[in-house]
A = this chain, B = another copy of it.
């Protein structure tokens, strides 16, 4: 026999069991009904000052905290938002995620992370999973987001906001930055420092950001006597694409003295390709990127770039979503934030060739 007579066997997991107070415990201790506690908690309806005091005391004493799952089920609100982005290990998006999380935490929201790899089916899977969890809203920073998905969310009454572009103009707030203007800033800067033959490495044209930057570049240069379309070269918004695009450009135009890359990663690739060829970036040729990711600062030479206000964009888009969730958003708009030239070594050290 395992136990003495009269000994109560201890359930195996008893050490785990901890008493968590529920709203009923609080009600009992405070001597009021559960509804009153709920009203107090949610500030929905009147509660007598005296009653309030005893409720407060009871909550304190029991160390009570409302169960958010129960609240979610009853009230259809979970204080959770989802951030769907292509890849958190991409430097741009990790900066963005940080901002989103900061703002969300400030307003009492929790952030669920989803990596879509810009694949429509992955994204769809997240939406499916998360709507079953009563997520309060979505932030889409990924490019695959489609009109169809937008419609479904709209029908379900789940708010969402988008980075860079929305599925349509009507039903979503969008935060983006002035990509076209940024591209023009970049070209102007390169011209200012004395560049006379500038190439552009553009990103995937299904991305509106890449397209806008290309348009900005073309509008700035297409009247220049030196401009020819072969100064445009395609990249993939990643380092490797920047490297190979630069190699192709140099073959066609060994005399280019400026490169404007559609984003920082490709600009970093350009730096790499140039230094491999023994071309001195900064003095022989100027390079300018776009985005303003932190890494641009640690490159040698430090990379000139058109900086998007990444943190602000993340903060703004989450504030918009939260407003929308809480019914405080008047109207869906597209917000375009200013970009800023960060002129650094990769262009400032440039010395124009005498004979030009």
Residues of chain A at the chain B interface (Cβ within 8 Å): 13, 15-18, 20, 65-70, 72-73, 78, 80, 87-89, 91, 94-95, 97-98, 101-102, 105, 110-115, 128-130, 132-134, 154-157, 239, 268, 271-272, 275, 294-295, 298-300
Contact among B16, B65, B298 for A132, CB-based, below 8 A = B65
Instruction: Decide: B91 and A115 in contact? CB cutoff 8 A.
Output: no
Known: A70-B73, A73-B70, A157-B13. A65 touches B128 (CB 8 A): yes
Residue among A101, A110, A114, A115 with max Cβ neighbours from chain B (10 Å): A110
Q: What separation, in Å, do the CA atoms of A300 and B129 have in the docked complex?
A: 43
A-B contact pairs, 12 of them (CB 8 A): A16-B155, A20-B156, A68-B132, A72-B73, A80-B112, A88-B97, A89-B94, A89-B98, A91-B94, A94-B94, A110-B130, A112-B112
User: How near does chain B come to A81, taking the closest CB pair, in angstroms?
Assistant: 10
Least CB separation from A109: chain B residue:
B129
CB distance from A13 to the nearest CB of B (A): 7
A contacts with B: majority SS: helix
Interchain CA distance A15-B13 in the complex, whole Å: 50
Report yes or no: A89 in contact with B239, Cβ–Cβ below 8 A: no
Q: Which residues of B contact A72 (CB under 8 A)?
A: 69, 72-73
Is A294 within 8 A of B16, CB to CB? no
Which residues of B are found within 8 Å of A239, using beta-carbon distances? 298
Cβ of A18 and Cβ of B155 under 8 Å apart? Answer: yes
Copies of the polypeptide in the assembly: 2
The reply to whether B78 and A89 contact each other, CB–CB distance below 8 Å, is: no
Distance in Å from the Cβ of A336 to the closest Cβ of chain B?
Answer: 24
Given A17-B157, A155-B16, A299-B300, A69 contacting B113 (CB threshold 8 A)? no
Which residues of the partner chain B approach A17 to less than 8 Å between Cβ atoms? 157
Q: Chain B residues near A89 (CB, 8 Å)?
A: 94-95, 97-98, 294
A155 to B114, CA, bound (A): 31
Contacts of A16 in B (CB 8 A): 154-157
A271 to B91, CA, bound (A): 21
What separation, in Å, do the CA atoms of A128 and B78 have in the docked complex?
Answer: 15
With beta carbons under 8 angstroms apart, the residue of B98, B110, B115 that contacts A133 is B110
Q: How far is the CA of A132 from the CA of B91 in the complex (A)?
A: 32
Complex CA gap A110/B275 in Å reads: 43
Besides the known contacts A20-B156, A70-B73, 12 further A-B residue pairs in the complex with CB atoms under 8 A apart: A16-B154, A16-B156, A66-B132, A69-B78, A69-B132, A69-B134, A72-B73, A89-B97, A97-B113, A110-B112, A110-B133, A300-B300
Q: What is the distance, in angstroms, from A243's C-beta to the closest C-beta of chain B?
A: 10
Closest 9 CB pairs of A and B: A94-B94, A16-B157, A89-B98, A68-B132, A68-B133, A69-B72, A69-B134, A18-B155, A69-B73
Give the residues in chain B near A88, CB-CB below 8 Å: 88, 94, 97-98, 101
Least CB distance from A230 to B in Å reads 27
A223 to chain B, nearest CB (A): 35
Q: What is the minimal beta-carbon distance from A246 to any residue of chain B, in angstroms?
A: 14
Nearest-neighbor residue (CB-CB) of A156 within chain B: B18
